[in-house]
Structure 1
């Protein structure tokens, strides 16, 4: 579903306390969790292995080319009343109103996925193409929130499965690399954040997240669906 086409706030139906809100200015989606999550990501701000209870998807101009995105983001977080040390931030030029959200309750875990898609710089990994030294506007940003326990290797496995699902969605859509016309596997600036609660309430630590596991199948399904919907509707009003 695309909650922000009709409302400013998304409240998870399966994970109490998780919300995502589109700002009045329309310049950011702020995702809040009820506890600090262990995060693994390539977020522009607070990426890598870290922790956060707030994840912000910040819309910037198509021609954005900031020299100090870290500094700019820290200033923006304080301006928004958010604590930089507890926040992970993504950047995009995509329509935030057309973000796609999906969630499910699995076998001893819960999962939420929110994706925004801009595809002006669609690219195919592994092909000969133009490369750029700096960030370019476009970007498919995906946020995955996992309530339960994952090993570190399973967290990496989630990101791998999510990437496969994104590429599959783009293949089915037929999105093309802007340089060479081949089917794209993403854009040149895609980002993904995985946030894990670490809750022991489910009584299990998930060790794998490949496509043949329930966790991996859920990740693949939600990422595929949200990427497909957000890409296919990005040019709609």
Structure 2
């Protein structure tokens, strides 16, 4: 499978909470995209993401960027009401709180689409749980890192009354399972792309 981007369209607008470079923060979204950029990318990300959205006929999408080959590393996993979409590139692993090593391109992008109606607080809780699952997966696979220096994450869900998404909840368990499976698969794919070069 070879393509340089991935676009996910929703059946209806969802509440979105993310640190994405395009329409990050708290917003309503019709979908999201993972956009591939060059390994030496130093462009105007605001303009480039807006151009990508326009060129693909999209409107009100949340956009993530990565230098990883999207078509080769994208992994999707489901658990309960949660679907995790992950692209992994780990050329710049880092530990939160440590001075990062010299910067090189590499990003773990995580998009969680949740069927349950969540409060904004639960969406923040979901990001916390997803980050814990990401870090556990990296450590278990032998990476001495809590993430990379440029990770992206987004949670997409209907607005609703579910207030909690931590590790003690059924939703949190589903988030953890989906993230761990998708991230492990994506890292394995990424490692394979490096071994054949």
Q: TM-score, normalised by structure 1?
A: 0.77
Residue 64 of structure 1 corresponds to 41
CA distance in 2, matches of 1:93, 1:129: 19
Equivalent residue of 2:34, what SS? strand
> Which shows bigger deviation, 225-234 or 28-37?
225-234
Residue 211 of structure 1 corresponds to 167
Higher helix proportion: 2
Alignment of 1:1-237 (within 5 A): 5=1, 26-66=3-43, 68-83=44-59, 86-97=60-71, 98-105=73-80, 110-130=81-101, 137-175=105-143, 183-198=144-159, 205-236=161-192
Q: Is the 8 A contact 1:141 1:190 kept in 2?
A: yes
Q: Residues 123-170 of structure 1, C-alpha deviation per residue, up to 9 Å, x if partnerless?
A: 1112233476xxx52100011001121121111000000000000000
**Runs (5+) with no aligned partner, structure 2:** none
Equivalent residue of 1:150, what SS? coil
Equivalent residue of 1:149, what SS? coil
Equivalent residue of 1:39, what SS? strand
Equivalent residue of 2:192, what SS? coil
Give the drift of 1:79. 1.2
Equivalent residue of 2:185, what SS? helix
Q: Alignment RMSD, CA only?
A: 1.6
Q: Is the 8 A contact 2:79 2:175 kept in 1?
A: no
Q: Residues 165-218 of structure 1, C-alpha deviation per residue, up to 9 Å, x if partnerless?
A: 00000000111xxxxxxx1110000001100123x6xxxx22111111001111
Give the drift of 1:72. 1.7
**Runs (5+) with no aligned partner, structure 1:** 6-24, 176-182
Q: TM-score, normalised by structure 2?
A: 0.92
Q: Is the 8 A contact 2:21 2:63 kept in 1?
A: yes
Q: Is the 8 A contact 1:95 1:117 kept in 2?
A: no
Residue 180 of structure 1 corresponds to none
Q: Is the 8 A contact 1:58 1:90 kept in 2?
A: yes
